[in-house]
Structure 1
Amino acid sequence: MQSWVDGQPANALASLKDRGLAYGDGLFETLAVKVGTPLLLELHMQRLALGCSRLAIVADQALIRSELLAYAQAMGEGVLKLILTRGDSLRGYGASPEAKPRRILQASPAAAYPDAYGQQGIALFDCATRLAEQPLLAGLKHLNRLEQVIARSEWQDPAYAEGLMRDTSGRVIEGVFSNLFMVRDGVLITADLHRCGVAGVMRAALLAEAERLAIPCHVTDISLAQLQQADELFLCNSVYGVWPVRAFADLSWPVGPLTRKLQGIARTLLDV
């Protein structure tokens, strides 16, 4: 399907003066689409609005929502990527006050991952690349993803479906394209993302479901030693749902009952 730029079908995705291209000055969202419906739309819009507020990008949220709905309807099924940039400017970091945010919508086929990832779990690669600590950008899905690009280049072995990323202080943060949860003594634990990392939409949805179901949950710092003491480990994102983690380095975990419970909830959230 043809991409849209500012609500119109277009072959060129961006101007050469676009600040998203020049500086990574913008945000993006990746939405699963089924039967013409963008899934978890409200959570995606909430994160986008937070990012716009943090980066001082004045964008018409209602217009973006309407375009997402229209584009998803035309797509039918697949993965929809929204790229929102600050717009055009001349050379230099300073943005022109006249810059108009640019909206780019792109369609891709539905993600095709092996069923075994969800059923039997995955092996997790230990990435050497560390996430820099920058509270101003922490949690945002901004366009500068060089840390993830470098981390993903560290392995080519198909035995690993994802990589574990830590910050420069050694705290366990997330996967390269997923958020991480561990279970210890029936308590659901996920990393504090106030210093770095991406606050994933599926992560937010599962935290809300855990609260609704009165599942004990902590958002806190996680050390590698604590990870070693986990009873269960799993990853999540808004495209594939939940993948149990069965192995990392010399550690292994069973696919536990809380992982299966939340996997079922994620599957429901990604259905229509």
Structure 2
Amino acid sequence: MIRLVDGVPAESLPLADRAIQFGDGVFRTLSIRDGGIPFWQRQMAKLAHDAAAIGIVAPPADVWLDDLRAHSPESATVKLMLTRGESARGYVVPADCQPHRITQITPLPPPVERGAGVTIRICETRASWQPRLAGIKHLNRLENVLARSEWTDLAIFDGLLLDRDGDVIEGSMSNVLLLEDGALLTPTLDGGGVAGVMRDVAFAAATGLGWQTGEARISLSRLLQAERVWLCNSLIGLVPVARLAEQSWSAHPADLTLTMQIAALAAKETQWLV
């Protein structure tokens, strides 16, 4: 693993950093494949948006890119974290707080064995309701940790988090997509959840295919009646769901169609390190 803090190799953060004290910051997780970063500009736009939403000014994209180019990994998982910086105990943000950028470079995970799809479950942990943080990928991910701790069965790929009303919000590590009457839908994230880059990419791909797209309140019963269900994030790409509880889905022509359209977008939207 390569760890950088403000572009310098480091193995620790100051204990006064607000990321340690409060989870005060934002992050993105992305991949490097064959020396290129798919959807780099989208990732940077999301990072800057999320940082601004909680009052942190993100460094320019080229600063992050220089950190990565200094090590030029051919293939890797990259986690970019932006903390608010250091402060004394207490929630008040000092006027002179200086953000820290953290870059972690690790090997890519093994590819997902997609086949006809993966098995998922419903989590008992509920997604929290906080409109001001809705969609933001902030550093306080405790509810995701609790949700993922609910199972040890390796056959379970991910778990779905429902909100206080019982509607589907997201997976513990993924966004949710479903095919309904020829339209690609995803849960509305106006009260919680993370709006991932691949969620946006899938919508762009579907639009390119001439499909209708939209956000909607997705009850569990509505999800179970969908023609097809997928999970997505920047590391796993688009993964079809084969089973949830007693409901099962078979391979669908849209699996390949949507995956190929996403790959075509990636080819156009890759930032090369060299």
TM range (shorter): over 0.9
Q: TM-score, normalised by structure 1?
A: 0.93
Q: Does 1:192 align with 2:188?
A: yes
Query: 1:116-265 counterparts in 2 under 5 A?
Result: 118-265=114-261
CA contact (8 A) 1:2 1:11 kept: no
CA contact (8 A) 1:38 1:68 kept: no
Offset at 1:212? 2.4
Give the Cα separation in 1 of the matches to 2:253 and 2:217.
23
Offset at 1:123? 0.6
* 2:109 counterpart letter in structure 1: A
Alignment match, 2:24: 25
CA contact (8 A) 2:178 2:186 kept: yes
Alignment match, 1:66: 65
Is the alpha carbon distance of 1:198 and 1:258 closer, same or farther for their aligned partners in structure 2, counting shifts above 3 Å?
Answer: same
* 2:6 counterpart letter in structure 1: D
| SS of the residue 1:233 aligns to | strand
Q: TM-score, normalised by structure 2?
A: 0.92
Alignment match, 1:93: 91
CA contact (8 A) 2:205 2:262 kept: no
Give the Cα separation in 1 of the matches to 2:224 and 2:236.
25
Offset at 1:8? 1.1
Q: Does 1:35 align with 2:31?
A: no
Q: Does 1:84 align with 2:82?
A: yes
Give the Cα separation in 2 of the matches to 1:249 and 1:38.
36
Higher mean C-alpha displacement, 214-223 vs 137-146 = 214-223
How many residues are matched?
A: 268
Is the alpha carbon distance of 1:100 and 1:21 closer, same or farther for their aligned partners in structure 2, counting shifts above 3 Å?
Answer: same
Is the alpha carbon distance of 1:161 and 1:242 closer, same or farther for their aligned partners in structure 2, counting shifts above 3 Å?
Answer: same
* 1:11 counterpart letter in structure 2: E
* 1:223 counterpart letter in structure 2: S
Is the alpha carbon distance of 1:122 and 1:96 closer, same or farther for their aligned partners in structure 2, counting shifts above 3 Å?
Answer: same
Give the Cα separation in 2 of the matches to 1:91 and 1:17.
8
CA contact (8 A) 1:245 1:255 kept: no
Is the alpha carbon distance of 1:212 and 1:266 closer, same or farther for their aligned partners in structure 2, counting shifts above 3 Å?
Answer: closer
CA contact (8 A) 1:241 1:270 kept: no
Offset at 1:98? 0.8
Offset at 1:175? 0.9
Offset at 1:268? 4.5
RMSD of aligned alpha carbons: 1.6
CA contact (8 A) 1:140 1:198 kept: yes
CA contact (8 A) 2:185 2:214 kept: yes
Give the Cα separation in 1 of the matches to 2:266 and 2:75.
12
Offset at 1:68? 4.9
Offset at 1:35? 2.6
Offset at 1:59? 2.7
Offset at 1:233? 0.8
Give the Cα separation in 2 of the matches to 1:165 and 1:177.
10
CA contact (8 A) 1:233 1:259 kept: no
CA contact (8 A) 2:178 2:229 kept: yes
CA contact (8 A) 1:233 1:244 kept: yes
Give the Cα separation in 1 of the matches to 2:111 and 2:261.
19
CA contact (8 A) 1:45 1:65 kept: no
Is the alpha carbon distance of 1:227 and 1:215 closer, same or farther for their aligned partners in structure 2, counting shifts above 3 Å?
Answer: same
Offset at 1:36? 2.7
Alignment match, 2:44: 45
Offset at 1:69? 4.3
Is the alpha carbon distance of 1:68 and 1:258 closer, same or farther for their aligned partners in structure 2, counting shifts above 3 Å?
Answer: farther
Give the Cα separation in 1 of the matches to 2:56 and 2:36.
26
| SS of the residue 1:181 aligns to | strand
Give the Cα separation in 2 of the matches to 1:209 and 1:138.
24
Is the alpha carbon distance of 1:232 and 1:62 closer, same or farther for their aligned partners in structure 2, counting shifts above 3 Å?
Answer: closer
In structure 1, stretches of 5+ residues that fail to align are none
Give the Cα separation in 2 of the matches to 1:199 and 1:247.
24
Query: What fraction of aligned residue pairs are identical, expressed as a percent?
Result: 40
Alignment match, 1:5: 5
